[in-house]
């Protein structure tokens, strides 16, 4: 859900119309942001409802269009916006300074020029002008770095025309990633150290896969996505069938390489017999590929027995 401060919907505003957006008269006053992206689908007609959105995981965005970015550097409004957003959020990715326009240095005088792309005779041109107030380019470059150092993210857009596209895309990304806290990476070597990612509350951690999924993914026709689908299904099955009160631990729920392989090559008849659940993306063709590569014929299944040495 996208919520705009009501000042962004006035006739004099350069914010393009976002048909699906809601408005709030309190957003910028409370948070320093003029856009909020929320994971909740509830109204935002009162300050109380706005606070409900803010207490959920959300993204706050202060939009600086063209010369407004430079003037906010001069009068320190950009720092005030970051400070107010910090009061409502936990992580830097939740606090965004978004600018529109292309900022380049005047190489003779050293001040900042602003432009935006225009299409002219099938060529994209960027006419530049010197805005008021005049700002040294090094001051712009400094604040561009310090936005991150002060705990926010800086997202530059080329022009106001990008705003609607970018905000709608951020809303889609936010809703997609909020339920996927881990991004698994399959790598072909061991060049990276096995240290876990730092617990810095990112939206999505990046984690190198070193478990049995690497083996299953290497089968022709399987790959990382289907291997992970099998892995997730087995983990859910383990959680249901290996209760903690019987001595199992959360670590016992992690599928082993042997469990992955035995599930992946199990015949249709045996899967029905033992009551294995449906695995998303796995049809009979997938099972057949694994069985063929393991040399299993009709009526044959892999059986594992654990015995003392």
Please give the tally of structural domains in the chain. Answer: 2
pLDDT at 210 over 90: no
- Assess if residue 160 is contained within a domain: yes
Same domain, 193 and 236: yes
Token couple for 286: 């997938």
Same domain, 221 and 171: no
Whole-angstrom distance, CA of residue 72 vs CA of residue 163:
19
In the prediction, which pLDDT does 169 show? 94
Last residue of a domain, one of 120, 152, 177: 177
pLDDT at 19 over 90: no
Same domain, 202 and 83: no
In the prediction, which pLDDT does 247 show? 67
Same domain, 168 and 198: no
Whole-angstrom distance, CA of residue 74 vs CA of residue 287:
64
Same domain, 221 and 83: no
Report helix angle 137-149 to 77-86, nearest 10. Answer: 10
pLDDT band at 137 (very low <50, low <70, confident <90, very high): very high
Nearest to 2 by CA among 26, 24, 21: 21
Same domain, 189 and 296: yes
Last residue of a domain, one of 127, 161, 177: 177
57-72 pLDDT, tens per residue?
Answer: 899 999 999 889 999 9
Whole-angstrom distance, CA of residue 149 vs CA of residue 206:
22
Mean pLDDT of 22-34: 91
In the prediction, which pLDDT does 202 show? 58
Last residue of a domain, one of 177, 198, 228: 177
Nearest to 112 by CA among 87, 81, 138: 138
Q: Indicate yes or no: pTM above 0.75.
A: no
Same domain, 197 and 298: yes
175-191 pLDDT, tens per residue?
Answer: 888 877 777 777 765 55
Q: Which domain holds residue 71?
A: 2-103+138-177
- Assess if residue 120 is contained within a domain: no
Whole-angstrom distance, CA of residue 72 vs CA of residue 215:
54
pLDDT at 135 over 60: yes
226-247 pLDDT, tens per residue?
Answer: 999 999 999 888 888 877 766 6
């Amino acid at each position: 859900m996208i919520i705009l401060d009501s000042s962004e919907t006035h006739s004099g505003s350069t914010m393009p119309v976002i048909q699906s957006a809601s408005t709030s008269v309190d957003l910028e006053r409370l948070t320093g942001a003029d856009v909020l992206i929320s994971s909740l689908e509830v109204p935002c007609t009162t300050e109380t409802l706005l606070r409900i959105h803010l207490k959920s995981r959300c993204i706050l965005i202060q939009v600086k269009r063209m010369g407004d970015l430079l003037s906010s550097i001069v009068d320190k409004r950009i720092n005030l916006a970051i400070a107010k957003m910090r009061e409502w959020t936990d992580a830097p990715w939740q606090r965004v300074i978004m600018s529109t326009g292309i900022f380049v240095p005047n190489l003779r005088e050293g001040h900042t020029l602003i432009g935006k792309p225009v299409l002219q005779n099938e060529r994209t041109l960027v006419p530049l002008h010197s805005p008021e107030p005049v700002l040294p380019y090094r001051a712009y470059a400094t604040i561009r770095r310090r936005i991150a150092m002060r705990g926010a993210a800086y997202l530059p857009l080329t022009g106001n025309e990008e705003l609607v596209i970018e905000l709608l895309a951020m809303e889609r990304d936010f809703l997609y990633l909020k339920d996927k806290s881990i991004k698994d990476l399959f790598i072909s070597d061991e060049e990276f150290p096995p240290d876990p990612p730092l617990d810095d509350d990112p939206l999505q951690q990046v984690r190198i896969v070193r478990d049995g999924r690497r083996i299953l993914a290497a089968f022709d026709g399987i790959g990382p996505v289907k291997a992970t689908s099998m892995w997730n299904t087995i983990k859910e099955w383990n959680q249901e069938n290996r209760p903690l009160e019987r001595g199992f631990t959360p670590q016992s729920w992690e599928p082993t390489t042997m469990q992955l392989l035995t599930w992946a090559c199990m015949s249709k008849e045996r899967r029905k017999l033992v009551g294995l659940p449906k695995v998303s993306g796995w049809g009979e063709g997938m099972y057949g590929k694994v069985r063929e590569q393991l040399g299993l014929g009709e009526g044959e299944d892999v059986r594992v027995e654990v015995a003392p040495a």
